Structure 1
């Protein structure tokens, strides 16, 4: 069975297990790619993916269609679950002691699985500074504070640029 986004959301809210299986089958690969960019451990990535889908199942009623697409909401849940897992293990980025490069031509580290959705192509349409911040924040898992410190720019500027980049991405995806 194939679902439209609104139909899928409605079915998930009615706790339809077939809709949830469809959701998992169609989105788990992409979410797993994002998670593995952050946790860098396949076994831990599998655990985080499972936790993310449990959270999606439990909290589907809190999804607000007016604030963004279902995929974006799920991506944020998966990303936050991965970051929480790293922090909860006491790592606090200790395994990622790699400094953030202060380079405007930072290569995009988006997982190849994301390209299936054309997201990589769309991200490449952003300005370099926006692309760099989206990459560092969403695909490499750095916090806004870490990015601000590493790039030596104010925290408010990082947040504003990321918000602007997300707005630009939303319009490019429409």
Structure 2
């Protein structure tokens, strides 16, 4: 087996407008714009499709990134996605900062609800201008203990879930 992956460098999504996305992630969320790559052709295929690729730096050194490629936009690309389909969860240091983020977002006109207590984390939810669901979460004191316990039963839980789905499909 190869060596373990180090982590996630960036997650990338399509955006409706580079400046609108920059204003949200930099001005509202406080993530500095770290780089913008501008190209005339798609990497790999070489097909003509002018785009910019924006990178916003997170405090841990990783990035969230966006493509503004207006020539390849399809109807529905910016409809609100369901959080089960995809979402990004940022992490706040503690519950006080989580609540401060909720209040700051609501104050900036970004509807934000929560916190929701998920047992191992508490989270608030909102969306970016592109329809991407976002979450800010914070770990509860027992976070690591709860996850360690879940890890012991994780494979059995998946097996039981798969059997339940198979029985329902039969």
TM-score, normalising length: structure 1: 0.31
Q: Identify the structure with bigger relative contact order (alpha carbons < 8 Å, sequence gap 6+).
A: 1
Higher-strand-fraction structure: 2
Whichever structure has more helix as a proportion of its residues is 1
Larger radius of gyration: 2
